[in-house]
Structure 1
Protein backbone atom coordinates (compact mmCIF):
# COMPACT_ATOMS: atom_id res chain seq x y z
CA UNK A 1 0.00 0.00 0.00
CA UNK A 2 0.98 3.63 -0.33
CA UNK A 3 -0.43 7.14 -0.21
CA UNK A 4 -0.61 8.72 -3.68
CA UNK A 5 -3.02 10.62 -5.93
CA UNK A 6 -5.55 8.49 -7.81
CA UNK A 7 -8.10 9.75 -10.34
CA UNK A 8 -11.81 8.99 -10.29
CA UNK A 9 -11.53 6.45 -13.10
CA UNK A 10 -8.83 4.44 -11.32
CA UNK A 11 -10.67 4.67 -8.01
CA UNK A 12 -13.96 3.56 -9.58
CA UNK A 13 -12.41 0.53 -11.27
CA UNK A 14 -10.44 -0.47 -8.18
CA UNK A 15 -13.30 -0.17 -5.73
CA UNK A 16 -15.84 -1.86 -7.96
CA UNK A 17 -13.49 -4.85 -8.33
CA UNK A 18 -12.69 -4.80 -4.62
CA UNK A 19 -16.28 -4.79 -3.41
CA UNK A 20 -17.36 -7.35 -6.00
CA UNK A 21 -14.58 -9.69 -4.87
CA UNK A 22 -14.93 -8.94 -1.14
CA UNK A 23 -18.72 -8.93 -0.87
CA UNK A 24 -18.99 -12.51 0.42
CA UNK A 25 -16.25 -12.06 3.03
CA UNK A 26 -17.62 -8.67 4.11
CA UNK A 27 -21.10 -10.02 4.67
CA UNK A 28 -19.77 -13.11 6.45
CA UNK A 29 -17.86 -10.86 8.86
CA UNK A 30 -20.30 -7.97 9.31
CA UNK A 31 -23.70 -9.15 8.11
CA UNK A 32 -24.97 -10.19 11.53
CA UNK A 33 -23.94 -6.82 13.02
CA UNK A 34 -25.70 -4.88 10.25
CA UNK A 35 -28.78 -7.12 10.11
CA UNK A 36 -31.05 -7.78 7.15
CA UNK A 37 -33.54 -5.02 8.02
CA UNK A 38 -31.90 -2.24 10.01
CA UNK A 39 -30.09 1.09 9.59
CA UNK A 40 -26.80 1.01 11.49
CA UNK A 41 -24.83 4.22 11.08
CA UNK A 42 -21.40 3.05 12.22
CA UNK A 43 -19.27 0.50 14.09
CA UNK A 44 -20.21 2.33 17.30
CA UNK A 45 -23.61 0.64 16.73
CA UNK A 46 -25.67 3.81 16.53
CA UNK A 47 -28.98 2.77 14.95
CA UNK A 48 -31.34 5.11 13.12
CA UNK A 49 -34.22 3.60 15.11
CA UNK A 50 -32.67 5.32 18.15
CA UNK A 51 -30.89 8.34 16.66
CA UNK A 52 -33.66 9.52 14.28
CA UNK A 53 -31.29 11.65 12.24
CA UNK A 54 -33.40 11.19 9.11
CA UNK A 55 -36.57 12.68 10.57
CA UNK A 56 -40.05 11.68 9.42
CA UNK A 57 -39.92 8.72 7.05
CA UNK A 58 -43.45 7.70 6.16
CA UNK A 59 -44.26 8.38 2.54
CA UNK A 60 -40.90 9.98 1.77
CA UNK A 61 -38.89 9.11 -1.35
CA UNK A 62 -35.44 8.12 -0.08
CA UNK A 63 -32.25 7.11 -1.85
CA UNK A 64 -29.78 4.94 0.05
CA UNK A 65 -26.50 5.80 -1.66
CA UNK A 66 -23.75 3.18 -1.54
CA UNK A 67 -26.22 0.77 0.01
CA UNK A 68 -24.11 -2.39 0.21
CA UNK A 69 -26.56 -5.19 1.02
CA UNK A 70 -29.34 -2.57 1.44
CA UNK A 71 -30.32 -3.42 5.00
CA UNK A 72 -30.96 0.29 5.56
CA UNK A 73 -33.28 0.65 2.58
CA UNK A 74 -35.28 -2.38 3.70
CA UNK A 75 -35.60 -0.89 7.18
CA UNK A 76 -36.81 2.37 5.65
CA UNK A 77 -39.48 0.42 3.77
CA UNK A 78 -40.76 -1.08 7.03
CA UNK A 79 -41.02 2.47 8.39
CA UNK A 80 -43.36 3.44 5.57
CA UNK A 81 -40.82 5.18 3.33
CA UNK A 82 -40.42 4.70 -0.42
CA UNK A 83 -36.72 3.79 -0.71
CA UNK A 84 -34.41 3.04 -3.61
CA UNK A 85 -31.06 1.32 -2.92
CA UNK A 86 -28.05 2.13 -5.13
CA UNK A 87 -24.54 0.73 -5.19
CA UNK A 88 -21.61 0.53 -7.61
CA UNK A 89 -20.91 -3.12 -6.77
CA UNK A 90 -22.83 -5.98 -8.35
CA UNK A 91 -21.42 -8.25 -5.65
CA UNK A 92 -22.99 -6.20 -2.87
CA UNK A 93 -26.29 -5.92 -4.74
CA UNK A 94 -26.29 -9.70 -5.10
CA UNK A 95 -26.28 -9.86 -1.29
CA UNK A 96 -29.04 -7.25 -1.22
CA UNK A 97 -31.20 -9.52 -3.37
CA UNK A 98 -30.48 -12.52 -1.12
CA UNK A 99 -31.34 -10.55 2.01
CA UNK A 100 -34.60 -9.42 0.41
CA UNK A 101 -35.52 -13.08 -0.10
CA UNK A 102 -34.61 -13.95 3.49
CA UNK A 103 -36.44 -11.00 5.04
CA UNK A 104 -39.39 -10.74 2.66
CA UNK A 105 -38.74 -6.99 2.38
CA UNK A 106 -37.98 -5.91 -1.19
CA UNK A 107 -36.84 -2.52 -2.45
CA UNK A 108 -35.72 -1.35 -5.91
CA UNK A 109 -32.01 -2.03 -6.46
CA UNK A 110 -29.94 0.10 -8.84
CA UNK A 111 -26.33 -0.38 -9.92
CA UNK A 112 -24.83 3.02 -10.73
CA UNK A 113 -22.06 5.49 -10.00
CA UNK A 114 -22.56 8.13 -7.29
CA UNK A 115 -21.01 10.70 -9.65
CA UNK A 116 -23.73 10.13 -12.24
CA UNK A 117 -26.98 9.29 -10.46
CA UNK A 118 -29.58 7.98 -12.94
CA UNK A 119 -32.45 10.00 -11.47
CA UNK A 120 -34.28 13.18 -12.37
CA UNK A 121 -33.64 16.50 -10.64
CA UNK A 122 -35.66 16.68 -7.42
CA UNK A 123 -36.51 12.96 -7.44
CA UNK A 124 -36.01 12.39 -3.70
CA UNK A 125 -37.02 13.86 -0.35
CA UNK A 126 -33.96 12.44 1.36
CA UNK A 127 -30.59 10.92 0.42
CA UNK A 128 -28.56 9.06 3.03
CA UNK A 129 -25.64 6.68 3.34
CA UNK A 130 -23.75 4.88 6.08
CA UNK A 131 -20.13 4.84 4.89
CA UNK A 132 -21.13 4.53 1.24
CA UNK A 133 -19.73 6.29 -1.84
CA UNK A 134 -18.31 9.46 -0.25
CA UNK A 135 -14.96 8.03 0.99
CA UNK A 136 -14.30 6.15 -2.23
CA UNK A 137 -14.35 8.81 -4.95
CA UNK A 138 -11.60 11.31 -5.75
CA UNK A 139 -14.06 14.15 -6.38
CA UNK A 140 -16.37 13.89 -3.39
CA UNK A 141 -17.43 17.51 -3.92
CA UNK A 142 -19.03 16.32 -7.16
CA UNK A 143 -20.97 13.69 -5.17
CA UNK A 144 -22.33 16.50 -2.97
CA UNK A 145 -23.45 18.42 -6.05
CA UNK A 146 -25.07 15.35 -7.58
CA UNK A 147 -26.95 14.59 -4.35
CA UNK A 148 -28.10 18.22 -4.23
CA UNK A 149 -29.43 17.86 -7.77
CA UNK A 150 -31.59 14.77 -7.09
CA UNK A 151 -33.03 16.25 -3.87
CA UNK A 152 -36.17 18.32 -3.89
CA UNK A 153 -35.96 21.80 -2.31
CA UNK A 154 -36.28 21.31 1.43
CA UNK A 155 -34.84 17.78 1.26
CA UNK A 156 -32.03 16.41 3.43
CA UNK A 157 -28.68 14.68 2.92
CA UNK A 158 -27.24 12.64 5.79
CA UNK A 159 -24.00 10.67 5.52
CA UNK A 160 -21.55 8.94 7.83
CA UNK A 161 -17.83 8.50 7.20
CA UNK A 162 -14.71 7.55 9.11
CA UNK A 163 -13.95 10.50 11.36
CA UNK A 164 -11.23 12.54 9.62
CA UNK A 165 -9.00 12.57 12.70
CA UNK A 166 -8.67 8.77 12.45
CA UNK A 167 -6.37 9.28 9.47
CA UNK A 168 -3.67 10.47 11.86
CA UNK A 169 -3.38 6.94 13.26
CA UNK A 170 -2.61 3.45 11.96
CA UNK A 171 -5.59 1.21 11.22
CA UNK A 172 -4.92 -0.81 14.37
CA UNK A 173 -7.56 -1.43 17.06
CA UNK A 174 -4.86 -1.96 19.71
CA UNK A 175 -2.17 0.06 21.44
CA UNK A 176 -0.31 0.76 18.15
CA UNK A 177 -3.41 2.60 16.99
CA UNK A 178 -3.11 5.21 19.74
CA UNK A 179 0.00 6.92 18.39
CA UNK A 180 -0.25 9.65 15.73
CA UNK A 181 1.95 8.76 12.75
CA UNK A 182 0.41 10.62 9.77
CA UNK A 183 -0.25 14.28 9.08
CA UNK A 184 -3.91 15.20 9.32
CA UNK A 185 -3.32 17.48 6.34
CA UNK A 186 -1.96 14.76 4.03
CA UNK A 187 -4.89 14.37 1.66
CA UNK A 188 -3.33 11.72 -0.52
CA UNK A 189 -5.61 8.66 -0.60
CA UNK A 190 -4.82 5.30 0.92
CA UNK A 191 -4.10 2.98 -2.03
CA UNK A 192 -3.66 -0.79 -2.09
CA UNK A 193 -2.23 -2.05 -5.37
CA UNK A 194 -1.13 -5.20 -7.15
CA UNK A 195 2.39 -6.18 -8.23
CA UNK A 196 2.02 -4.04 -11.36
CA UNK A 197 1.08 -0.94 -9.40
CA UNK A 198 -2.58 -1.07 -10.44
CA UNK A 199 -4.85 0.15 -7.61
CA UNK A 200 -7.00 -2.57 -6.07
CA UNK A 201 -8.58 -0.48 -3.26
CA UNK A 202 -8.73 3.29 -2.80
CA UNK A 203 -10.04 5.30 0.15
CA UNK A 204 -9.96 9.09 0.30
CA UNK A 205 -9.16 11.44 3.18
CA UNK A 206 -10.61 14.91 3.68
CA UNK A 207 -10.34 17.11 6.76
CA UNK A 208 -13.44 18.25 8.64
CA UNK A 209 -13.04 21.68 7.04
CA UNK A 210 -12.82 20.09 3.59
CA UNK A 211 -16.10 18.28 4.17
CA UNK A 212 -17.83 21.44 5.37
CA UNK A 213 -16.63 23.34 2.31
CA UNK A 214 -17.86 20.55 0.00
CA UNK A 215 -21.26 20.58 1.67
CA UNK A 216 -21.68 24.35 1.65
CA UNK A 217 -20.18 24.65 -1.85
CA UNK A 218 -22.85 22.31 -3.21
CA UNK A 219 -25.57 24.57 -1.78
CA UNK A 220 -26.46 22.70 1.42
CA UNK A 221 -26.93 24.07 4.91
CA UNK A 222 -25.03 21.99 7.48
CA UNK A 223 -27.43 21.36 10.36
CA UNK A 224 -25.41 19.02 12.59
CA UNK A 225 -22.26 16.95 12.92
CA UNK A 226 -22.74 13.87 15.09
CA UNK A 227 -19.73 12.09 16.62
CA UNK A 228 -21.09 8.88 18.16
CA UNK A 229 -19.53 7.87 21.45
CA UNK A 230 -18.50 4.29 22.09
CA UNK A 231 -21.36 2.74 24.08
CA UNK A 232 -20.87 0.97 27.38
CA UNK A 233 -20.91 -2.79 27.04
CA UNK A 234 -20.04 -2.77 23.33
CA UNK A 235 -16.94 -4.96 23.01
CA UNK A 236 -17.05 -5.94 19.34
CA UNK A 237 -14.14 -5.04 17.08
CA UNK A 238 -14.69 -3.77 13.53
CA UNK A 239 -11.40 -3.35 11.70
CA UNK A 240 -9.67 -0.39 13.36
CA UNK A 241 -12.70 0.30 15.59
CA UNK A 242 -12.38 -1.00 19.13
CA UNK A 243 -13.51 -0.20 22.68
CA UNK A 244 -9.93 0.92 23.48
CA UNK A 245 -9.84 3.58 20.77
CA UNK A 246 -13.54 4.40 20.79
CA UNK A 247 -13.50 5.48 24.42
CA UNK A 248 -10.66 7.94 23.71
CA UNK A 249 -11.50 9.62 20.39
CA UNK A 250 -14.24 9.49 17.75
CA UNK A 251 -14.24 6.97 14.92
CA UNK A 252 -17.25 8.20 12.97
CA UNK A 253 -18.62 11.56 11.83
CA UNK A 254 -22.21 11.93 10.63
CA UNK A 255 -23.06 15.07 8.66
CA UNK A 256 -26.70 16.20 8.61
CA UNK A 257 -27.40 18.62 5.75
CA UNK A 258 -30.45 20.34 4.25
CA UNK A 259 -31.12 21.62 0.77
CA UNK A 260 -32.77 25.02 1.34
CA UNK A 261 -36.31 25.37 0.06
CA UNK A 262 -36.26 27.21 -3.24
CA UNK A 263 -32.51 26.64 -3.84
CA UNK A 264 -31.53 26.14 -7.46
CA UNK A 265 -29.62 23.00 -8.54
CA UNK A 266 -25.86 23.34 -8.82
CA UNK A 267 -24.07 22.60 -12.08
CA UNK A 268 -24.20 18.94 -13.09
CA UNK A 269 -26.39 16.39 -14.78
CA UNK A 270 -30.08 16.90 -15.39
Structure 2
Protein backbone atom coordinates (compact mmCIF):
# COMPACT_ATOMS: atom_id res chain seq x y z
CA UNK A 1 0.00 0.00 0.00
CA UNK A 2 1.31 3.44 -0.93
CA UNK A 3 1.67 5.68 2.08
CA UNK A 4 0.13 9.17 1.94
CA UNK A 5 2.16 12.35 1.85
CA UNK A 6 2.03 14.31 5.12
CA UNK A 7 -0.42 16.76 3.51
CA UNK A 8 -2.70 13.93 2.38
CA UNK A 9 -2.61 12.35 5.83
CA UNK A 10 -3.47 15.64 7.52
CA UNK A 11 -6.44 16.16 5.18
CA UNK A 12 -7.71 12.61 5.70
CA UNK A 13 -7.38 12.92 9.45
CA UNK A 14 -9.33 16.18 9.45
CA UNK A 15 -12.22 14.52 7.61
CA UNK A 16 -12.11 11.59 10.05
CA UNK A 17 -12.25 13.92 13.05
CA UNK A 18 -15.17 15.86 11.60
CA UNK A 19 -17.03 12.56 11.33
CA UNK A 20 -15.97 11.64 14.87
CA UNK A 21 -17.55 14.82 16.24
CA UNK A 22 -20.97 13.65 15.10
CA UNK A 23 -20.56 10.33 16.93
CA UNK A 24 -19.67 12.06 20.19
CA UNK A 25 -22.50 14.58 20.07
CA UNK A 26 -25.56 12.39 20.65
CA UNK A 27 -24.32 10.77 23.86
CA UNK A 28 -25.02 10.88 27.57
CA UNK A 29 -21.47 12.19 28.05
CA UNK A 30 -22.18 15.23 25.86
CA UNK A 31 -25.42 16.00 27.70
CA UNK A 32 -23.67 15.73 31.06
CA UNK A 33 -20.87 18.01 29.89
CA UNK A 34 -23.31 20.66 28.72
CA UNK A 35 -24.65 20.77 32.26
CA UNK A 36 -21.26 20.59 33.98
CA UNK A 37 -19.54 23.42 32.10
CA UNK A 38 -22.07 25.89 33.44
CA UNK A 39 -20.15 25.88 36.75
CA UNK A 40 -17.15 28.24 37.06
CA UNK A 41 -14.94 25.53 38.64
CA UNK A 42 -15.68 22.88 35.98
CA UNK A 43 -12.73 20.61 35.27
CA UNK A 44 -12.29 17.41 33.28
CA UNK A 45 -8.53 17.33 33.94
CA UNK A 46 -7.21 14.34 35.87
CA UNK A 47 -4.98 14.73 38.97
CA UNK A 48 -1.73 14.19 37.04
CA UNK A 49 -2.12 17.07 34.60
CA UNK A 50 -3.88 19.25 37.17
CA UNK A 51 -0.94 18.95 39.54
CA UNK A 52 1.58 19.68 36.79
CA UNK A 53 -0.30 22.78 35.59
CA UNK A 54 -0.43 24.02 39.18
CA UNK A 55 3.32 23.49 39.52
CA UNK A 56 4.01 25.33 36.26
CA UNK A 57 1.60 28.04 37.37
CA UNK A 58 -1.08 29.17 34.95
CA UNK A 59 -2.92 31.60 37.24
CA UNK A 60 -3.05 34.96 35.48
CA UNK A 61 -1.39 33.49 32.38
CA UNK A 62 -2.36 33.38 28.70
CA UNK A 63 -2.73 29.76 27.58
CA UNK A 64 -3.14 28.09 24.19
CA UNK A 65 -4.24 24.48 23.77
CA UNK A 66 -3.17 22.99 20.46
CA UNK A 67 -5.51 20.31 19.08
CA UNK A 68 -8.18 21.14 21.64
CA UNK A 69 -10.95 18.81 20.39
CA UNK A 70 -14.29 20.02 21.84
CA UNK A 71 -12.73 22.58 24.17
CA UNK A 72 -13.57 20.87 27.45
CA UNK A 73 -9.96 21.11 28.64
CA UNK A 74 -9.76 24.76 27.60
CA UNK A 75 -12.72 25.50 29.82
CA UNK A 76 -11.09 23.54 32.65
CA UNK A 77 -8.04 25.84 32.56
CA UNK A 78 -10.07 28.77 33.85
CA UNK A 79 -10.68 26.87 37.08
CA UNK A 80 -6.90 26.89 37.58
CA UNK A 81 -6.83 30.66 37.16
CA UNK A 82 -5.86 31.14 33.52
CA UNK A 83 -6.33 34.76 32.41
CA UNK A 84 -7.15 33.86 28.80
CA UNK A 85 -7.43 30.61 26.86
CA UNK A 86 -7.31 29.97 23.12
CA UNK A 87 -8.10 26.53 21.70
CA UNK A 88 -6.93 25.50 18.23
CA UNK A 89 -8.15 22.48 16.27
CA UNK A 90 -8.32 21.52 12.60
CA UNK A 91 -11.77 19.93 12.91
CA UNK A 92 -14.51 22.44 12.13
CA UNK A 93 -17.10 20.14 13.70
CA UNK A 94 -15.22 19.90 17.01
CA UNK A 95 -14.58 23.65 17.07
CA UNK A 96 -18.33 24.13 16.71
CA UNK A 97 -18.89 21.82 19.68
CA UNK A 98 -16.32 23.80 21.66
CA UNK A 99 -18.22 27.00 20.97
CA UNK A 100 -21.45 25.37 22.06
CA UNK A 101 -19.86 24.43 25.39
CA UNK A 102 -18.40 27.92 25.77
CA UNK A 103 -21.85 29.43 25.24
CA UNK A 104 -23.03 27.59 28.35
CA UNK A 105 -19.90 28.33 30.37
CA UNK A 106 -19.35 31.54 32.39
CA UNK A 107 -15.86 31.71 30.82
CA UNK A 108 -14.90 33.15 27.46
CA UNK A 109 -12.25 31.14 25.63
CA UNK A 110 -11.51 31.77 21.96
CA UNK A 111 -11.61 28.87 19.53
CA UNK A 112 -9.80 28.90 16.19
CA UNK A 113 -10.12 26.41 13.36
CA UNK A 114 -6.64 25.84 11.94
CA UNK A 115 -4.26 23.09 10.96
CA UNK A 116 -1.47 23.12 13.54
CA UNK A 117 1.03 23.29 10.66
CA UNK A 118 -0.44 26.56 9.36
CA UNK A 119 -1.19 28.62 12.44
CA UNK A 120 -2.44 32.18 11.92
CA UNK A 121 0.07 34.96 12.52
CA UNK A 122 -1.81 36.50 15.50
CA UNK A 123 -1.03 33.36 17.56
CA UNK A 124 2.72 33.69 17.17
CA UNK A 125 4.65 34.47 20.33
CA UNK A 126 1.54 35.33 22.34
CA UNK A 127 1.29 32.71 25.09
CA UNK A 128 2.82 31.94 28.47
CA UNK A 129 1.78 28.27 28.32
CA UNK A 130 1.04 25.88 25.44
CA UNK A 131 -0.88 22.74 26.41
CA UNK A 132 -0.79 19.48 24.45
CA UNK A 133 -2.76 16.57 25.84
CA UNK A 134 -3.67 12.97 25.21
CA UNK A 135 -3.74 11.61 21.67
CA UNK A 136 -2.27 14.53 19.72
CA UNK A 137 1.19 13.32 18.68
CA UNK A 138 -0.10 10.22 16.89
CA UNK A 139 -1.93 12.36 14.33
CA UNK A 140 1.22 14.31 13.45
CA UNK A 141 3.25 13.05 10.46
CA UNK A 142 6.35 15.04 11.56
CA UNK A 143 6.86 15.44 15.30
CA UNK A 144 9.83 17.83 14.88
CA UNK A 145 7.72 20.15 12.72
CA UNK A 146 4.91 19.92 15.26
CA UNK A 147 7.28 20.97 18.05
CA UNK A 148 8.42 23.98 16.01
CA UNK A 149 4.82 25.03 15.55
CA UNK A 150 4.13 24.66 19.27
CA UNK A 151 7.21 26.71 20.11
CA UNK A 152 6.13 29.44 17.68
CA UNK A 153 3.08 30.22 19.85
CA UNK A 154 5.11 30.81 23.02
CA UNK A 155 6.61 34.00 24.35
CA UNK A 156 10.32 33.75 25.28
CA UNK A 157 10.26 31.98 28.63
CA UNK A 158 6.87 30.43 27.86
CA UNK A 159 6.34 26.77 28.73
CA UNK A 160 5.08 23.78 26.79
CA UNK A 161 3.10 21.40 29.02
CA UNK A 162 2.49 17.96 27.52
CA UNK A 163 0.52 15.00 28.89
CA UNK A 164 0.56 12.17 26.41
CA UNK A 165 0.19 8.45 25.91
CA UNK A 166 3.55 6.70 26.14
CA UNK A 167 4.73 5.61 22.67
CA UNK A 168 5.82 2.23 24.07
CA UNK A 169 2.12 1.39 24.39
CA UNK A 170 1.82 1.50 20.60
CA UNK A 171 3.60 -1.88 20.41
CA UNK A 172 0.49 -3.59 21.73
CA UNK A 173 -2.92 -4.31 20.25
CA UNK A 174 -5.53 -4.32 23.03
CA UNK A 175 -7.95 -6.26 20.80
CA UNK A 176 -5.48 -9.04 19.93
CA UNK A 177 -5.94 -12.64 21.10
CA UNK A 178 -2.94 -12.04 23.35
CA UNK A 179 -2.95 -8.29 24.05
CA UNK A 180 0.22 -8.58 26.15
CA UNK A 181 2.32 -9.73 23.20
CA UNK A 182 4.04 -6.96 21.20
CA UNK A 183 2.30 -6.66 17.84
CA UNK A 184 4.35 -3.98 16.06
CA UNK A 185 7.73 -2.29 16.17
CA UNK A 186 8.54 0.63 18.43
CA UNK A 187 10.52 2.01 15.50
CA UNK A 188 7.71 1.73 12.91
CA UNK A 189 7.84 4.77 10.65
CA UNK A 190 4.90 4.17 8.32
CA UNK A 191 1.58 5.14 9.91
CA UNK A 192 -1.10 2.70 10.94
CA UNK A 193 -3.92 2.94 8.39
CA UNK A 194 -7.25 3.06 10.24
CA UNK A 195 -10.55 2.27 8.54
CA UNK A 196 -12.82 2.81 11.54
CA UNK A 197 -14.37 5.85 13.11
CA UNK A 198 -12.46 7.64 15.85
CA UNK A 199 -14.30 7.04 19.12
CA UNK A 200 -12.96 7.46 22.64
CA UNK A 201 -15.91 6.89 24.96
CA UNK A 202 -16.13 3.10 25.06
CA UNK A 203 -18.27 2.75 21.93
CA UNK A 204 -17.78 -0.23 19.65
CA UNK A 205 -15.67 0.52 16.60
CA UNK A 206 -17.58 1.11 13.36
CA UNK A 207 -16.43 1.60 9.80
CA UNK A 208 -15.42 5.15 9.05
CA UNK A 209 -13.20 7.44 6.96
CA UNK A 210 -9.56 6.44 6.47
CA UNK A 211 -7.15 8.04 8.92
CA UNK A 212 -3.45 7.70 9.68
CA UNK A 213 -1.83 7.19 13.09
CA UNK A 214 1.91 7.76 13.50
CA UNK A 215 4.20 6.28 16.13
CA UNK A 216 6.93 8.62 17.42
CA UNK A 217 9.57 7.31 19.79
CA UNK A 218 10.08 9.15 23.05
CA UNK A 219 13.53 10.09 21.81
CA UNK A 220 12.09 11.74 18.70
CA UNK A 221 9.65 13.75 20.84
CA UNK A 222 12.40 15.01 23.12
CA UNK A 223 14.79 15.67 20.23
CA UNK A 224 12.05 17.57 18.41
CA UNK A 225 11.51 19.79 21.44
CA UNK A 226 15.23 20.49 21.78
CA UNK A 227 15.56 21.31 18.06
CA UNK A 228 12.66 23.77 18.44
CA UNK A 229 14.71 25.69 21.05
CA UNK A 230 12.67 24.30 23.94
CA UNK A 231 14.63 23.47 27.08
CA UNK A 232 13.34 20.32 28.81
CA UNK A 233 12.60 21.03 32.46
CA UNK A 234 10.56 17.99 33.44
CA UNK A 235 9.84 14.55 32.03
CA UNK A 236 8.11 11.78 33.97
CA UNK A 237 6.62 8.42 32.98
CA UNK A 238 3.62 6.80 34.68
CA UNK A 239 2.03 3.33 34.97
CA UNK A 240 -1.56 4.55 34.59
CA UNK A 241 -3.47 4.73 31.31
CA UNK A 242 -4.83 8.06 30.13
CA UNK A 243 -6.48 6.87 26.93
CA UNK A 244 -9.54 4.75 26.01
CA UNK A 245 -10.88 2.27 28.57
CA UNK A 246 -9.70 -0.56 26.32
CA UNK A 247 -6.14 0.20 27.46
CA UNK A 248 -6.90 -0.11 31.18
CA UNK A 249 -5.94 -3.80 30.94
CA UNK A 250 -2.28 -2.73 30.77
CA UNK A 251 -2.37 -1.27 34.26
CA UNK A 252 -1.35 -3.12 37.45
CA UNK A 253 0.85 -5.70 35.71
CA UNK A 254 3.74 -7.47 37.42
CA UNK A 255 5.94 -6.44 34.47
CA UNK A 256 4.45 -2.95 34.28
CA UNK A 257 4.59 -0.98 31.02
CA UNK A 258 5.03 2.81 30.91
CA UNK A 259 1.58 3.99 29.80
CA UNK A 260 1.81 7.79 29.71
CA UNK A 261 4.20 10.64 30.36
CA UNK A 262 4.36 14.34 31.19
CA UNK A 263 6.86 16.82 29.85
CA UNK A 264 7.51 20.52 30.28
CA UNK A 265 9.89 22.60 28.17
CA UNK A 266 10.67 26.31 28.22
CA UNK A 267 11.14 28.44 25.11
CA UNK A 268 14.65 29.85 25.12
CA UNK A 269 15.15 33.55 24.32
CA UNK A 270 16.48 34.20 20.84
TM-score, length basis structure 2? 0.80
1:240 paired with 2:250, answer no
Q: Give CA-to-partner distance per residue, 1:114-140, whole Å, 9 cap, x none.
A: 112113432111111213543212122
Could you list the structure 1 runs, at least 4 aligned residues long, displaced by more than 6 angstroms after superposition.
Answer: none
**Alignment: residue pair count:** 247
CA contact (8 A) 1:10 1:199 kept: no
Give the distance between the partners of 2:55 and 2:152, measured in 1 at CA.
Answer: 19
Task: Return 52-61 or 65-74, whichever deviates more.
Answer: 52-61
- Alignment correspondent of 1:226: 236
**2:22 corresponds to which of 19, 24, 29:** 24
User: Is the 1:148–1:218 contact (alpha carbons within 8 Å) kept by the matching residues of 2?
Assistant: yes
* Structure-1-length-normalised TM-score: 0.80
Match of 2:168 among 165, 168, 176: 165
Q: Gapped runs of 5+ residues in structure 1?
A: 265-270
Is this contact kept in 2: 1:67–1:132, CA < 8 A? no
Offset, 1:83:
0.8
1:94-133 map, 5 Å: 94-120=96-122, 121-131=124-134, 133=136
Match of 2:138 among 135, 138, 153: 135
**1:31-70 superposed matches below 5 A:** 36=37, 37-40=42-45, 45-52=46-53, 55-70=56-71
Per-residue deviation, 1:178: 1.1
CA contact (8 A) 1:225 1:253 kept: yes
Aligned position for 1:154: 157
Measure how far apart 1:251 and its partner are: 2.2
Structure having greater relative contact order (Cα 8 Å, sep ≥ 6): 1
Q: Is the 8 A contact 1:222 1:257 kept in 2?
A: yes
Structure 2 CA distance, aligned partners of 1:83 and 1:183? 38
RMSD between aligned residues: 2.9
Cα deviation code 1:76-134 (max 9, x no counterpart): 22324211011100111121122123333331110001112113432111111213543
Instruction: Tell me if 1:250 matches 2:254.
Output: no
